[in-house]
Amino acid sequence: MERELEEIFIRQRLRLTKPRRIIFNVMHATDTPLSIAAIAKLCPSVERTSVYRTLELFVQLGIVETVARGWKQQYELASPFNSHHHHLTCSLCGKVIDIYSKKFEMLVGAISHENQFVAQDHTLEIRGHCVVCR
C-alpha cells in the first residue's frame, strides 16, 4: 500500500508529506466512506485546510474517490487501495453497505458494448431502508 502511494507521488513529482501520509493512513484504516469533518477529527495533528487540500489532491491523483451522501460528499480510497465496489445507503440511519457484484460489472460492459461506448468509470448508489430501519 505505502509503496503504491509513494510511486504515485514520485510519478507526479510531488512530495508525500507527513500530513498526506496521516490522512492516507486514516482512510486506509477505515472501511467506510468518511466526511471531511470525520477525517479532520481523526487527524488532529493536521490543519483542517490541509485536510481539504489533501483530499482535493488525492481525488485528482485517483487515490481517493468521492461518494455522494445526500448533498454532502464523503471520501474513500480508490483502486488500487480499495477494491472496486458500489454502495447501498440507508436513507434513514445512513448505514452504508459495500456491494461487490460481478453481475453488475458484466452488465456495465454489455451496455457499453451495445452502445459502442468505452466506459472509463462508473458508480452505483442505491438508497433505501436497511433491515433495521424497515
The string of pLDDT tens digits covering residues 39-85 is 999 999 999 999 999 999 999 999 998 887 767 888 999 888 887 78
- pLDDT exceeds cutoff 90 at 97: no
Proportion of the chain above pLDDT 70, given as a percent: 99
Confidence of residue 89 (pLDDT cuts 50, 70, 90): confident
Single out the residue of 11, 27, 16 nearest to residue 81, CA to CA. Answer: 27
pLDDT in the model for residue 82: 81
Share the mean pLDDT of the chain.
Answer: 89
pLDDT in the model for residue 132: 93
The mean per-residue pLDDT over the stretch 21-27 comes to: 95
pLDDT in the model for residue 5: 92
pLDDT in the model for residue 33: 87
Whole-angstrom CA distances from 40 to 24, 33, 54, 113 are: 12, 13, 11, 42
Number of H helices and number of E strands within the chain?
Answer: 5, 5
Lookup: cell for 63 = 487515490
pLDDT in the model for residue 52: 95
pLDDT in the model for residue 39: 96
The β-bridge relationship of strands 86-90 and 96-99 is antiparallel
- pLDDT exceeds cutoff 90 at 86: no
Which stretches within the chain are classed as H helix? 2-11, 18-29, 36-42, 48-61, 102-114
